[in-house]
Amino acid sequence: MNKRQALLGFILIVMITQRWSLFAQEVSPVFEPIHPYLATPAPGHIYEIPVVIMRFLPTADGKNLDVSMAADYGSLGEISLEALKERIDAFDKRIKFMLEEGSRFRGYKTPSAAPSIGYRVVAYITVYEQTPRGPVIGEVNGFPIYAPDFYQIFERFDMAHYVNVLGVKEIWVWMGGVAPDFPSYDPRLHKPENFRNWWESNMSSPLTGDISNSNRDNTDLPVYNSTYTVYGQNFRRTQAEAVHNHGHQLEAILSHVNHLQHGNTDLFWKKFVGQDENEDFITGRVGWTHMPPNTTKHYDTQNPAHVESDIEDWTPDNNGSKKMVNVDTWGNLTYQWPDANLTEIPQRVESQWYIYWMQNMPGHGNRIRYGEKTMTNWWVFTGDWDTAISSKLGLTSK
């Protein structure tokens, strides 16, 4: 190589480095301004939940989602980052609304009922990268599926500060995974090292360990001074699936508390949800995330069949008043959604099932009796897990 070739090579390297540096600046993580609605807990709330929202939106050009890395939109063609962020922004507001509204005990008939939970977003971080690859958590068609490396993510963004100092209790993580069984999977485009998935909910607790809808691996998240829960949210889906994840977390923690207090989970699963002695689901009680009271089929939230249920006057002894319920019972309720046009809310009826179901959990001010005892406010276990567990609080009074 002569001097002229060496000089040209050096100039080319400098130009490429400068060009990459400029591009890297364009796609650096952004600490977004927080919308006032997300930053303001519901008025009159009892327990405040500080939240960090993160969204991982890999891009190759700074303008569009890189569907080779996050293939959820691969079958739908190109999607701009601007459009995707607007979509997620709308979902965030609906999720906050659904969770706060759901914590109003029987709020569908008592609008003045206080929300047990108020959410306050304290940081909103957009990362224009795919999540870093963590441990293998499954296999599909012979290919490994990787969890994100949350140790790396949380160290990079100092999540210890948010949990230990700012009291963050929940972290909502938007991401687009890809796996060989996804409709958008394209073997010509998607490589196994990009296959990603994450649990719907995953808890880290110095007090109890992981009580969540996951494989309950106590080593897959950093342990800080207090309990926090990470919710995996897929931006291909909507607010319905995101709150569905919270529903399963409620089932995990409430059945755990039930077992701590009574040595079994009968109060929650058999008496509240509705199961027989063989643990088969039955109709007529309150139901759970997958099943309203009028069905025993999974994901059947729009079943028109009428079934008599005590969902609106639930007592463990099944002596409350009963009414005929079906999809119209929750689908026709009027909720004050933060959207001007209800027709623009995807999966609205399914979403309203989750709100209605949560509102029928024993909440603030309930006087539901269980023999000589009364139901506690079950939302304390979402709002302040550490204090509730430390004080040995149960689903019923002591």
- Evaluate if residue 13 carries a pLDDT over 50: no
pLDDT, tens only, 346-379: 999 999 999 999 999 999 999 999 999 999 999 9
206 plus 297 within the same structural domain: no
* Domain hosting residue 366, numbered range: 251-390
193 plus 342 within the same structural domain: no
Contacts of 8 (CB under 8 A, 6+ apart): none
Please tell me which residue, 176 or 125, carries the higher pLDDT value.
Answer: 125
pLDDT, tens only, 54-68: 999 999 999 999 988
Least confident range of 139-153, 187-201, 218-232, 273-287: 187-201
End position of a domain, from candidates 209, 238, 267: 238
Count: domains in the chain: 2
Looking at the domain assignment, is residue 177 inside a domain? Answer: yes
pLDDT given for residue 347 in this prediction: 97
Calpha distance 110→123 (Å, rounded): 33
Calpha distance 32→35 (Å, rounded): 9
Calpha distance 389→326 (Å, rounded): 36
289 plus 227 within the same structural domain: no
45 plus 183 within the same structural domain: yes
Least confident range of 105-109, 179-183, 227-231: 179-183
Calpha distance 6→4 (Å, rounded): 5
Calpha distance 88→234 (Å, rounded): 10
Q: Rounded mean pLDDT of 225-241?
A: 96
CA 37, 252, 247, 381 torsion: positive or negative? Answer: negative
194 plus 57 within the same structural domain: yes
pLDDT band of residue 72 (cuts 50, 70, 90) is low
> For strand 307-309 and strand 323-325, is the pairing parallel, antiparallel, or unpaired?
antiparallel
Alpha helices in 116-238 (DSSP H): 150-156, 159-164
End position of a domain, from candidates 238, 273, 295: 238
pLDDT given for residue 257 in this prediction: 98
* Among 95, 205, 15, residue whose Cα is nearest residue 214: 205
Please compute, for residue 102, the number of CA atoms within 13 A of its CA located in the half-sphere on the CB side.
Answer: 27
Average model confidence (pLDDT) for the chain?
91
121 plus 189 within the same structural domain: yes
Looking at the domain assignment, is residue 141 inside a domain? Answer: yes
Q: What is the DSSP letter of 370?
A: E
Q: Rounded mean pLDDT of 7-26?
A: 38
Least confident range of 209-218, 246-255, 336-345: 336-345
Distance of CA 156 to the CA centre of its chain: 22
pLDDT given for residue 75 in this prediction: 52
Looking at the domain assignment, is residue 374 inside a domain? Answer: yes
pLDDT, tens only, 90-119: 999 999 999 999 999 999 999 999 999 999
Q: What angle do CA 384, 388, 392 make, to 5 degrees?
A: 170
Q: Are 310 and 287 in contact (CB under 8 A)?
A: no
| Start-to-end C-alpha separation, the chain | 85
Coil, strand or helix: which one is 190?
Answer: coil
pLDDT band of residue 71 (cuts 50, 70, 90) is low
pLDDT band of residue 208 (cuts 50, 70, 90) is very high
pLDDT given for residue 77 in this prediction: 62
